[in-house]
Chain A
């Protein structure tokens, strides 16, 4: 289990700059254009002319490429190794999907082109919407949101618009959100103007149905929930929850971050949800890009269709078009129609996998998570709350609380030490309701051998916590750099957020 990440001593690209070097030569105007126009600066009012050129780096193409290739080597992706980052579904991204989006037929398409020239992409988007509708049971999808959180904001706006049209706009201003929810849920609800009401999790690891019942009233706008929840546990009483919310006049929002557990087994519609988002960069295998671009399509049941953002991709039997004529729509939520290159990858993924592939993906994802949970449970170093009373679904949350109390080694230290074994850390300290939480989502694309390595590494680190706690607290050792001083990074006296701040700081410190 030895591992060593690349370690370059790579300065900032600004520090490698040499005046006068240029890495890319833009095209020049031709002779006639120059002759007719003359000096381009005649057309730039002197008051608007830049006095000092921007201090951008000056390097040759080869130097730029070397610099960034070295930086890439000091990064860790799914293609580098196991990445069991819970709730993020870091599954393998099939390369054919990346290849398809390199086509100039998509890259060079402008969003305002005449619809007669964009029938190909509109057809793809239309089919994709329908496939997502089938996967979730929703009646119609908007593909526009750029990410899960963007989708949640859109969904919260739909809930707001729905109550407004029903004459309850001002009154229904409370959004119910479980304490185990992703942080984006309360943040999105608040952005859409809602007060949030936190619902506790009960001893089974599921949402407290009684608490939901006592929380609902005439101010309830809706409930945001993910199922399976962030503990990886399926909310068995979901129909009771949806019944409670609906009879109080609220709507149910499905945070689709955990959809990878249930493809083809159950759907948000069957569970009583009204609005759904899917993270295509999670469930549908598009690359996460180091933090985006992703895509978070939003789907709704029939009675909420009219509130979806404009435009929607529509088909009139002979041609595909963008439908803006939707008077009750929440409006536009971004400039154009979505992260198209991401949507196209997801479409390729779904049709490659087919129905049996999607079902198998969920089954394997759940099997893998249970396998890891069982092995760790049997070892006993980590406590898995609610297990084995409940199966887990696509992920399991283990607590390093016992290790912490007995050795002083924290979940954070364990995460860092796992990096030394070439494994990306699980999500750490989330959900916040579990003490010293490590949230593990292996996904379906890890082999049995890879799962065994993950379990072995976790058990080994737990052992190290007892035999040599300082070893774990000092980790990592095999990454490009040793443990990073994050407090210093955010401290007002030492923070440095750009090259210009570094330049200034360096000059000040050089002064006698």
Chain B
């Protein structure tokens, strides 16, 4: 081959690289290792982790432990999907395109929205993009968000919106009920408000029940309504399209994607009408036909919004997204169907309320702190436990139980943690948590 290209040795392949930038020494990277050794070595490192399957773990807060049906992993492991790339050549990528079209379709059904893209990186970046999109559509520069929005999400939102000159304004939420305070929203919404953002269920796990009022208030000022969702809840909870959402975002990780220490995740992004569609970021797959009209076919559409065509005037820079996670979500939702998803929601609500019931029997514990209805997460308050939420968290860890996220970010909620219960938590896990709390607090 070298002869074919007219060179004597491999080093000559780099003769166009000036000596002044050539490396003088070899990279300080260990020498190659056999497949067997690599596996044994990495497994030995990973063995140091103690996971949510090694101990009961009640964490949620943006990443949730749900069971992933075996068939999902089987399908996304198919290497025709896994080792392909963005389907630029539609004719040879029909299967992937159809799977992504089905994903978009399922997101539309779940959320009752007209259009969905084929994925964003995660919920927080979807929120950042939604804010920027709302600003572009309305020509305004403020976003109203609830006071108790997840801190990680808000941090990423700020990073995304700051360069676009979008101001983030907090709407107060009642610290007893978790509900948005409408008077505060009325006070803060102006003709600079690009959008009002609410989450359902909220970060603190309860439903925001005044959605119709919030929607009316937003639209009366010609602002958009952005709604963030946990897609699992939509098996039984009212979809945002039902109460006038213009943009719906959310975290698709619970739809058949493992937690994986927080990534990859799946940003959901949907919108309600065609004037918004033109400003939507991300890849969109459309159904069409072959040129000869004989077959149904799929391809990427509206690419003129995207960076590879529009460059600095694109709606977003997103290119590689989370396509395989979207395929996982499509398989997951197909397996579930409406009946499976409904049943899953019923199990989750039952287990979550069972947990609140038994935990509230522990002396010094309030479960939930908020006087509201909850889905799978709830606030556990220790104001009358005589110990800080953090101290109790450490005691639980010693007993082999991982408690929820300690909410240090919201001091007005007192000594509170955010707990999550899903179908993966057995009654034994929940009872063990209650027993452990009893022991810890009795031993004070």
Contact = CB atoms under 8 A, between A and B. Distances in A.
Contact of B78 (A72, A105, A160): A72
A172 B207 CA distance: 45
Interface stretch (A208-216, A400-408, A460-468, A492-500): A492-500
Nearest to B129: A191
A490 B262 contact: no
Nearest to A119: B48
A334 B121 contact: yes
Given A27-B423, A106-B49, A483-B91, A43 B340 contact: no
Interface string B250-290: 01000000111111110000000010010000011111111
A498 B314 contact: no
Contacts of A118: 49, 261
Contacts of B176: none
B330 to A, nearest CB: 8
A24 B71 contact: yes
Nearest to B159: A331
A373 B325 CA distance: 37
B5 A193 contact: no
Interface in A475-498: 476, 479-486, 488-490, 492, 494-498
B16 A391 contact: yes
Contacts of B165: 193
Given A119-B48, A340-B263, A29 B110 contact: no
A344 interface: yes
Contacts of A47: 209, 212, 238
Interface stretch (A233-241, A246-254, A298-306): A233-241
A106 B46 CA distance: 7
B153 to A, nearest CB: 6
Centre residue among B2, B100, B115, B163 by max chain A CB count within 10 A: B163
Centre residue among B59, B351, B373 by max chain A CB count within 10 A: B351
Interface string B334-347: 11111111111111
B84 A75 contact: yes
Interface in A262-307: 262-267, 270-271, 279, 281, 287-294, 296
Contact of A292 (B112, B150, B310, B324): B324
A59 B320 contact: no
A470 B264 CA distance: 45
A367 B91 contact: no
A292 B321 contact: yes
Given A24-B69, A56-B341, A183 B307 contact: yes
Contact of A348 (B42, B75, B299): B42
Interface string B1-35: 11011110010011111101111001111111111
B248 interface: no
A34 B347 CA distance: 9
A288 B86 CA distance: 8
B114 A498 contact: yes
Contacts of B7: 370
A358 interface: yes
B337 to A, nearest CB: 4
B108 A499 contact: yes
A350 B29 contact: yes
Given A113-B402, A191-B163, A292-B264, A335 B83 contact: no
B286 A496 contact: yes
A107 B257 CA distance: 9
B91 A480 contact: yes
Interface residues of A, number: 206
B124 interface: yes
Contacts of A500: 105, 108-109, 114
A325 interface: no
A481 B297 contact: yes
Interface string B302-326: 1110111111111011111111110
Interface residues of B, number: 204
B61 interface: yes
A226 B131 CA distance: 31
Contacts of A367: 1-2, 5, 10, 13
Interface stretch (B50-58, B216-224, B381-389): B50-58
Contact of A43 (B23, B156, B349): B349
Interface in B52-100: 52-54, 57, 59, 61-63, 65, 67, 69, 71, 73-75, 77-96, 98-100
Contact of A40 (B16, B260, B318, B349): B349
A337 B263 contact: yes
B184 to A, nearest CB: 21
A416 B89 CA distance: 8
B43 interface: yes
A96 B427 contact: no
Interface string A74-103: 111111100101001010011010111111
A481 B290 contact: yes
Contacts of A291: 85-87, 118-119, 283, 320-321, 323-324
Given A56-B109, A334-B124, A71 B98 contact: yes
A239 to B, nearest CB: 6
B234 A105 contact: no
Given A355-B26, A366-B13, A488-B288, A70 B95 contact: yes
A44 B86 CA distance: 41
Nearest to B430: A33
Nearest to A23: B335
B80 A75 contact: yes
Nearest to B406: A112
27 contacts: A26-B340, A32-B354, A50-B239, A54-B341, A65-B75, A68-B327, A72-B80, A75-B81, A93-B83, A96-B39, A110-B52, A111-B259, A123-B45, A186-B311, A193-B163, A264-B26, A290-B86, A291-B323, A293-B263, A352-B38, A354-B29, A479-B94, A482-B295, A485-B288, A485-B297, A489-B288, A500-B109
Given A58-B339, A339-B263, 6 more contacts: A64-B335, A124-B45, A184-B307, A264-B26, A424-B92, A490-B301
Closest 9 A/B residue pairs (Cβ): A336-B262, A111-B262, A354-B32, A77-B83, A289-B324, A71-B95, A120-B48, A74-B95, A293-B264
